[in-house]
Amino acid sequence: MENTYLYAYLKIFNKELLDFPLDAVTKKLQVQPTSARKRGEQANPEHPRLYKFTSWLLEFSRETYNSRDVLDPILAAFQSKTAELNQLKHEKLKSI
């Protein structure tokens, strides 16, 4: 039987603003991202491409056939963060 890897993620970004303070998002959510990229950073040291916008990402992946194995950790991390996520959305990540 072949290996099956599933992943789920929540990504926060703002294409209109392009940049926002990543530390402020982490502090407000009290969740450490698995990846955080700043606009203008080099995407890969071997290539000149730069990130076009800032993003904050929490991702879970594992070898499994059950999607709940990757969805549940995301849901658990943000289940009590609805107010914080809505606040980030309404602030448009400008003044956090």
Residue 2 exposed, middle or buried by CB count within 10 Å (0-12, 13-18, 19+): exposed
Sheet with 35-37, side-by-side order of all strands: 5-13, 55-63, 35-37
Q: Can you give the pTM of this predicted structure?
A: 0.82
Structure tokens, 5: 């890897």
- pLDDT tens digits, one per residue of 11-41: 998 877 778 889 999 999 999 999 999 999 9
Q: What whole-number distance in Å separates Cα of residue 60 and Cα of residue 34? A: 8
Scanning the structure block, which residue is given the tokens 């970004």?
13
- pLDDT tens digits, one per residue of 50-87: 988 899 999 999 999 999 999 999 999 999 999 999 98
* pLDDT value of position 59: 97
